[in-house]
Structure 1
Amino acid sequence: MEKAKLSMIRTTMKRWLMVLCVLAGIAGCGRDSPEAQLRQRIDDMQAAVETQRPRDFMDGVSEAFTGQDGMDRAALHNLLRMRALANARTGATIGPLDVRVEGENATVEFPLLLTGSSGRLLPEQAATYRVTTTWRQEGGEWRVYHARWKDRP
């Protein structure tokens, strides 16, 4: 009788283990929501600015990018490289994101504080902006294809 109970317990444990593995697999296979993907992309781009890696930032920028005052993708890349060369440290603090997703397109608005420093304790430069970005899915990845910004007092 003891062997029968032990066998039944093992069978039950195996079934529970299989159910848990299936549930874990389902949870792991689930893709992040479009909003979560956008937030992660923006976090990655912010980190690229702060670690002075313009090329990594540009991974999130569409080849068809247009910006304020006729800025294109190449001009944006040059601006980022110039900031990295001119400052030993660059700060990019992003405020709350207002994310609106419509299918494969999205708009993200946020306040931005940009700082630049020669490496001393306090930054020598600082500016705040209200940024509006427009995104779309390209090859399964979110990329910004338009941006505009306003100085904030």
Structure 2
Amino acid sequence: MVMTFVLVWSLASCAARVPDAEAIRAAIGEMAAAAEARRTGDVLERIAADFTGNDGEFDRAGLERLLRARVLAAQSAGVSIGRVEVELDGDRAVARFEMTLTDGSGRWLPDRRFVLDVTTGWRREGRDWLCYNASWSSDAR
């Protein structure tokens, strides 16, 4: 009886594990939803302490300041993520996607859409995937 329980529990644990690429895609989606909901703390939960962005232009604290400034400046913001391509290499991964930002107030984004091409670096820390670097370039459309 005990052996059957252990076997069932083991199989359920394996079945419940989300594939790494899907976990990273889910994290990116959760971060986008948090940004749209103006919850910068939730965005930062997936950012590593040693984060660097745009070749050293931003560290984690700088990214936090940028996010908070955008939340204060925008009355409402839309964030949508295009198809996320993930390349895995053990406990590291690279995710590339297009992110579209919108803001009808015209205060920090134009009234039209603002598109970023984003490349992010991820690493596994325990059971979680954290973003430790990112680069982005814009193309206002």
Root-mean-square deviation (Å): 2.3
- Compared with structure 1, are the counterparts of its residues 127 and 36 closer, same or farther at alpha carbon in structure 2 (3 Å cutoff)? same
* Aligned residue among 89, 114, 117 for 1:127: 114
1:29 lines up with 2:39 in the alignment: no
| Residue 124 (structure 1) shift | 2.7
The residue identity in structure 2 corresponding to 1:57 is V
Structure 2: segments with no counterpart, 5+ residues: none
| Runs of 4+, deviation exceeding 4 Å | none
Q: Output the CA distance in 2 between the equivalents of 1:85 and 1:109.
A: 28
Q: Deviations over 1:26-84 (max 9, x none)?
A: 55312111111111111110111010000000000000000015211001011111111
The residue identity in structure 2 corresponding to 1:82 is A
Q: Output the CA distance in 1 between the equivalents of 2:43 and 2:34.
A: 5
Aligned to 1:43: 29
The residue identity in structure 2 corresponding to 1:66 is T
* Greater share of helix: 1
- Compared with structure 1, are the counterparts of its residues 125 and 77 closer, same or farther at alpha carbon in structure 2 (3 Å cutoff)? farther
Give the secondary structure class of the aligned counterpart of 1:150: strand
| Residue 105 (structure 1) shift | 0.1
Aligned to 2:80: 93
The residue identity in structure 1 corresponding to 2:30 is D
1:75 lines up with 2:66 in the alignment: no
Structure 1: segments with no counterpart, 5+ residues: 1-18
Aligned to 1:108: 95
Q: Output the CA distance in 2 between the equivalents of 1:83 and 1:99.
A: 27
The residue identity in structure 2 corresponding to 1:102 is D
Q: Output the CA distance in 2 between the equivalents of 1:93 and 1:151.
A: 14
Q: Output the CA distance in 2 between the equivalents of 1:125 and 1:60.
A: 29
| Stretch deviating more after TM superposition (86-95 or 54-63) | 86-95
Computing the radius of gyration from Cα coordinates, the structure with the larger value is 1
Percent identity of equivalent pairs: 35
| Residue 90 (structure 1) shift | 1.2
Q: Output the CA distance in 1 between the equivalents of 2:113 and 2:31.
A: 19
Q: Output the CA distance in 1 between the equivalents of 2:99 and 2:87.
A: 18
Q: Output the CA distance in 2 between the equivalents of 1:130 and 1:35.
A: 19
The count of aligned residue pairs is 131
